[in-house]
A and B are shown apart, each in its own frame.
Chain A
Amino acid sequence: MPKHCSRRELLGGAVAGAAGLIAGCSSSKADSEDSFTVALARDPTRQKWDVYNGITPYYTHVFEPLVDTTAEMETAPLLATEWEAVDETTWEFSLRNNVTFHNGDPLTADAVVRSFDRVFEQWSWVPGWIGVTSDGVTAVDDTTVRFETTDPFPAFPGTISHQYFGIQHPDENETPTGTGPFEVDEVTAGQSITLTPFADYRDGTATPTELTFEWIKDPNTRVLSLEKGSVDIAQQIPKSRATALVEASEMGINTYLTPEAGLVAVNLYRSPTDDEQLRKALNWAVDQSQIVENVLNDIGKPAHGPISSTIPWSIHDELPTYGPDLDRARDLVEASRYDGETLSVLINSKNADDRTIAQTLSGWFKEIGVTSEIRQIDPASFNDRFTAGEANLTLVGFGSNSAACDYLIRAMFHSEGSDNRKRYKQDGTGIYNPGPEVDRLIEQGYRAENLEAKRDYYGEVQRRVVDTGAVIPLYYNESVFGRRADVSGIDSHPVDNMIEWSGLTREQ
């Protein structure tokens, strides 16, 4: 016999259904006041991170390296309490006592060796990058690890402060296991990582009871998710949206000056930018303050040189500034061999800010009588086109993810650095490497044993690069994190991968 619903039952059911629907559609934020969701711009579980059992070593603080990078971009003890150069090419690191992995196993020198070996096995380019041979990491005893470098390399401790060298448990079949303040609770491939605080962490348990890193690729969707409240913090907020977040009462932003500099790499070996007068003219035409103020929404710092002022050996404050002075720029164009050729300007199509900056530069160049043509290149082939020397001017941004930023200056201005190597080997030229004298200065800086000496050598490189117009410095980048207004405790750090979450709290 069919059962009929009364009007009251029907109404009750409808109300319950609607309530369920609203609950389902509402914010997905976890119930607990101490759980937080961070939106990341890149997939934290992508295939690249298989070497760490499928999670990114950036942001998550599941793994810790031997050496820390301080907010001043200097080295500090982390899993290693101290280190010393036994001779020119040998380093020994003493491990901190009583450190345990998330599964309770103690941290040993053998575990550190295995962790490095694992990275070397998966990424064959890494030993060359940090200057050790693939069998150059050995355990001296239970608490001492030795590194043999191929050449004298005083910046070695800073180099291994990179999060690529976070120490992981030797058992490759386990879930990602490190020694950091957070341990892995759940990994959803292609979507998110959920962490919980490591109860036995040596510096005390982190505040958040749950921390989720969710991949939201599109910047506008990240902002919308923040506005909606489905995430608490969003990384890489477009600078054009930052002002709106500041003005909204329920949201806010945190900005941090990073070690990244945005600049124009000027091709020294391609006509007409092989003419120093023309390169100087281009520099005189550019107003860095206008770029920061109008294009970057006042988020960033006008640059004087190619190395961000956050890096200890940057000589930003001592470098001369060019202008802007359009009259002087015009005079220099007149004095140069420039004959109306169109300069090619290469930009990476994924960088919206670069598109606007390139147009701004193009407008200024036009005012001094220099024509230019912008070409947007897809990210996959951008670097190839740049290092092949296809353009006169290329908008690039370089930063460091570790305390040792030596590789930056080498990559950019040494003839055998990664940006110049291809052309240098082909025909002895390059892109924006001023030549043998600068190469020698970089090599001396690389071997310098203290900051003062390093600053002398690298400072001279910066001065020469700016003097010859090998670059047009634009800005030092600030990273932008958006957050809900009630979220506090985001620990600032110039390297945004290293920002800590242990003190996150939500104000009532």
Chain B
Amino acid sequence: MSDRTADRRKQQEATKQPRGTDGLATDRLGQFGIGVVLTLLVLAALGPVVSPYDPVEQDLSNRLESPSLSHPFGTDQLGRDVLTRLLHGARFSLGIAVAVTTVRLIMGTAVGLLAGYAGGWIDETLMRLVDTLLAFPGIVLALVIAGILGPSLVNVMLALSVVGWASYARLVRSNVLSLREREFVSAARLLGRSRTHIATRHLLPNVVAPVVVLATLDIGSVILGTAGLSFLGLGAQPPTPEWGTMLASGRSYLRQAWWLVNAPGLCIMLTVLGFNLLGDSLRDMLSPTQTAQMEEL
């Protein structure tokens, strides 16, 4: 075995078995992130089931009640329990974030794989498209798209999906460019494997790890984007208990009922923080080269 091959093996092993379990066991922030995300998932799954209140039904005789035992986060301007709405809102926010990130991930991976492996004019064309998309501030482009399509959660998901896949494409392409020169790919080619086979069986599995890490980090920004567009009236429509919509509705009562803005604001902050810490932790478990690549993105 040549020295070069031996070095490469070591590098591959380092990628496959990074700091792994040890890293997570000592990474307090990572643990906090996982804790927050798991708590949110449990609350989103069970909260609405155990809550005694309806998130939409109004009770004008109980409007703007401050936090108490019966309403731990108070009631809003229509007498609805804020905690119940937050728990239902978690389903919306997490559901949308996962759905949008999945679409971004699939689109970006497909484009990056195609551009990196096919090369030539296909690569040029796709990368210029990616450059164009990356040149726009994502939220502004999403605003334009959501504005044209009209206000609805589905349109916000569409807008955020369209603007966010470019980073994935760039990451996957750069990985594929180095992978396609590797010996296992050359071997597969010499064995007469089809291009599709090589792309899906040899290249794709090797780019999954960094893409998953990027996706974890991306979920936070999707949650922020969804809340931002809903805050501007382009996303979820009242009375949907979405966190951004709740922020927008509560803004008028900021001085009168501080909990209407602070509660959803805190939820958004904690969720984004949780996913970012989880993403950072996952990233640290990967090789320094991949960490550097993602930081460039």
Tell me the A residues contacting B by CB distance below 8 Å. 220, 223, 238, 240-241, 243-244, 290, 294-295, 349, 352-353, 355-356, 358-360, 362-363, 373-378
Interface status of B253 (Cβ within 8 A of chain A): yes
Which stretch of B39-47, B116-124, B232-240 is in the interface?
B232-240
Q: Which chain B positions have C-beta within 8 A of A376?
A: 151, 233-234, 237-238
Contact between B252 and A238, CB atoms less than 8 A apart: yes
In the complex, 18 of the A-B residue pairs with CB atoms within 8 angstroms, ordered by the A residue number, are A220-B251, A241-B256, A244-B256, A294-B63, A295-B77, A349-B151, A352-B249, A355-B249, A358-B238, A359-B239, A360-B60, A374-B239, A375-B150, A376-B234, A376-B238, A377-B151, A377-B233, A378-B233
Q: Which chain A positions have C-beta within 8 A of B58?
A: 359-360, 363
Q: Which chain A positions have C-beta within 8 A of B251?
A: 220, 352
Considering the chains assembled together, what is the distance between the CA atoms of A349 and B78 in angstroms?
A: 18
Interface status of B147 (Cβ within 8 A of chain A): yes
Indicate whether A240 sits within 8 Å of B60 (C-beta atoms), given known contacts A362-B239, A373-B237, A377-B151.
no
- CB A323 to nearest CB in B, in angstroms, measures 16
Considering the chains assembled together, what is the distance between the CA atoms of A294 and B248 in angstroms?
A: 18
Interface status of B255 (Cβ within 8 A of chain A): yes
- CB B16 to nearest CB in A, in angstroms, measures 50
- CB A433 to nearest CB in B, in angstroms, measures 26
Which of B77, B237, B254 lies in contact with A220, CB distance below 8 A?
A: B254
Considering the chains assembled together, what is the distance between the CA atoms of A363 and B232 in angstroms?
A: 23
Interface status of B57 (Cβ within 8 A of chain A): yes
In the complex, besides A244-B256, A294-B63, A363-B239, 20 extra interface pairs with C-beta distance below 8 angstroms are: A223-B255, A240-B253, A241-B252, A244-B255, A294-B60, A349-B151, A349-B232, A352-B251, A352-B252, A355-B248, A355-B249, A356-B78, A359-B78, A359-B238, A360-B58, A362-B239, A373-B237, A374-B237, A376-B234, A377-B233
Considering the chains assembled together, what is the distance between the CA atoms of A238 and B252 in angstroms?
A: 7
Q: Which chain B positions have C-beta within 8 A of A360?
A: 58, 60, 78
Q: Which chain B positions have C-beta within 8 A of A356?
A: 77-78, 249
Tell me the B residues contacting A by CB distance below 8 Å. 56-58, 60, 63, 77-78, 147, 150-152, 232-234, 237-239, 248-249, 251-256
Q: Which chain A positions have C-beta within 8 A of B57?
A: 363
- CB B52 to nearest CB in A, in angstroms, measures 18
Q: Which chain A positions have C-beta within 8 A of B238?
A: 355, 358-359, 374, 376
Indicate whether A375 sits within 8 Å of B255 (C-beta atoms), given known contacts A295-B77, A356-B77, A359-B78.
no
Considering the chains assembled together, what is the distance between the CA atoms of A349 and B63 in angstroms?
A: 22
- CB A390 to nearest CB in B, in angstroms, measures 10
Considering the chains assembled together, what is the distance between the CA atoms of A224 and B197 in angstroms?
A: 65
Interface of B is mostly: loop
Q: Which chain B positions have C-beta within 8 A of A223?
A: 255
Contact between A243 and B239, CB atoms less than 8 A apart: no
Q: Which chain A positions have C-beta within 8 A of B256?
A: 240-241, 243-244
Q: Which chain A positions have C-beta within 8 A of B255?
A: 223, 241, 244
Closest to B56 in A: A363
Considering the chains assembled together, what is the distance between the CA atoms of A344 and B41 in angstroms?
A: 33
Contact between B252 and A375, CB atoms less than 8 A apart: no
Contact between B147 and A378, CB atoms less than 8 A apart: yes
Indicate whether A290 sits within 8 Å of B237 (C-beta atoms), given known contacts A243-B256, A352-B251, A378-B147.
no
Considering the chains assembled together, what is the distance between the CA atoms of A377 and B238 in angstroms?
A: 12
- CB A243 to nearest CB in B, in angstroms, measures 7
Considering the chains assembled together, what is the distance between the CA atoms of A223 and B60 in angstroms?
A: 26
- CB A56 to nearest CB in B, in angstroms, measures 26
- CB A194 to nearest CB in B, in angstroms, measures 30
Considering the chains assembled together, what is the distance between the CA atoms of A205 and B146 in angstroms?
A: 54
Considering the chains assembled together, what is the distance between the CA atoms of A295 and B64 in angstroms?
A: 11
Considering the chains assembled together, what is the distance between the CA atoms of A356 and B253 in angstroms?
A: 12
Q: Which chain B positions have C-beta within 8 A of A359?
A: 58, 78, 238-239
Considering the chains assembled together, what is the distance between the CA atoms of A352 and B238 in angstroms?
A: 11
Contact between B233 and A240, CB atoms less than 8 A apart: no
Considering the chains assembled together, what is the distance between the CA atoms of A349 and B229 in angstroms?
A: 12
- CB A219 to nearest CB in B, in angstroms, measures 8
- CB A428 to nearest CB in B, in angstroms, measures 27
Contact between A240 and B252, CB atoms less than 8 A apart: yes
Indicate whether A363 sits within 8 Å of B78 (C-beta atoms), given known contacts A244-B255, A375-B150.
yes
Q: Which chain A positions have C-beta within 8 A of B56?
A: 363
Q: Which chain A positions have C-beta within 8 A of B60?
A: 290, 294, 360
Closest to B239 in A: A359
Which among A294, A349, A362, A376 has the greatest number of chain B C-beta atoms within 10 A?
Answer: A376
Contact between A375 and B63, CB atoms less than 8 A apart: no
Q: Which chain A positions have C-beta within 8 A of B152?
A: 375
Q: Which chain B positions have C-beta within 8 A of A353?
A: 252
- CB B62 to nearest CB in A, in angstroms, measures 11
Closest to A350 in B: B233
Closest to A245 in B: B255
Considering the chains assembled together, what is the distance between the CA atoms of A356 and B239 in angstroms?
A: 9
Considering the chains assembled together, what is the distance between the CA atoms of A358 and B152 in angstroms?
A: 16
- CB B169 to nearest CB in A, in angstroms, measures 31
Considering the chains assembled together, what is the distance between the CA atoms of A356 and B80 in angstroms?
A: 12
Q: Which chain A positions have C-beta within 8 A of B253?
A: 240
Considering the chains assembled together, what is the distance between the CA atoms of A358 and B238 in angstroms?
A: 8
Q: Which chain A positions have C-beta within 8 A of B234?
A: 376, 378
Considering the chains assembled together, what is the distance between the CA atoms of A362 and B80 in angstroms?
A: 14
Closest to A377 in B: B151
- CB A395 to nearest CB in B, in angstroms, measures 12
Considering the chains assembled together, what is the distance between the CA atoms of A349 and B238 in angstroms?
A: 11
Considering the chains assembled together, what is the distance between the CA atoms of A363 and B147 in angstroms?
A: 27
Considering the chains assembled together, what is the distance between the CA atoms of A223 and B253 in angstroms?
A: 12
Closest to A381 in B: B147
Indicate whether A375 sits within 8 Å of B237 (C-beta atoms), given known contacts A290-B60, A352-B251, A356-B249.
yes
Considering the chains assembled together, what is the distance between the CA atoms of A243 and B77 in angstroms?
A: 14
Which among B57, B63, B77 has the greatest number of chain A C-beta atoms within 10 A?
Answer: B77
Q: Which chain B positions have C-beta within 8 A of A240?
A: 77, 252-253, 256
Q: Which 10 A-B pairs have the closest CB atoms?
A: A349-B233, A376-B233, A363-B58, A240-B252, A352-B252, A359-B239, A294-B60, A374-B237, A359-B238, A374-B238
Considering the chains assembled together, what is the distance between the CA atoms of A487 and B38 in angstroms?
A: 56
Considering the chains assembled together, what is the distance between the CA atoms of A378 and B229 in angstroms?
A: 12
- CB A290 to nearest CB in B, in angstroms, measures 6
